[in-house]
Amino acid sequence: MSESTDVGKQARARVTEPAVWQVLSTIADPEIPTLSVVDLGVVRRVRIERDAIVVELMPTFLGCPALSSMRDVIVERVGALAPTRVELVRDQAWTSDRITEEGRRRLRASGFAPPARGDVLALPILPLAECPYCGSRDTVLESPFGPTACRAIHYCATCRQPFEQFKAV
Name the residue nearer to Zn ion (CB basis): 68 or 158: 158
Smallest gap from Cβ 107 to Zn ion, in A, equals 15
Name the residue nearer to Zn ion (CB basis): 7 or 159: 159
**Rounded Cα–Cα distance for residues 63 and 66 (Å):** 8
Of the candidates 96, 90, 97, 99, the one whose C-alpha atom is nearest the C-alpha of residue 125 is: 96
According to the binding rule CB under 5 A, does residue 16 interact with Zn ion?
no
Of the candidates 110, 119, 124, the one whose C-alpha atom is nearest the C-alpha of residue 164 is: 110
Determine the Cα angle at 60 with ends 141 and 31, to 5°: 70
According to the binding rule CB under 5 A, does residue 158 interact with Zn ion?
yes
Interacting positions 80-139 with Zn ion (CB under 5 A) = 131, 133-134, 136
According to the binding rule CB under 5 A, does residue 157 interact with Zn ion?
no
Smallest gap from Cβ 155 to Zn ion, in A, equals 9
Name the residue nearer to Zn ion (CB basis): 143 or 158: 158
According to the binding rule CB under 5 A, does residue 148 interact with Zn ion?
no
What does the longest C-alpha to C-alpha distance in the chain come to?
Answer: 67
Q: Is 142 in a helix, a strand, or coil?
A: strand
According to the binding rule CB under 5 A, does residue 155 interact with Zn ion?
no
Smallest gap from Cβ 130 to Zn ion, in A, equals 9
112-119: long-range contacts, CB 8 A cutoff, minimum separation 24: 112/32, 112/163, 112/164, 112/165, 112/166, 113/154, 113/163, 113/164, 113/165, 113/166, 114/166, 115/165, 115/166, 115/168, 119/95, 119/168
Smallest gap from Cβ 153 to Zn ion, in A, equals 14
According to the binding rule CB under 5 A, does residue 143 interact with Zn ion?
no
Name the residue nearer to Zn ion (CB basis): 128 or 159: 159
Smallest gap from Cβ 48 to Zn ion, in A, equals 46
- Binding positions for Zn ion, rule: CB under 5 A: 131, 133-134, 136, 156, 158-159
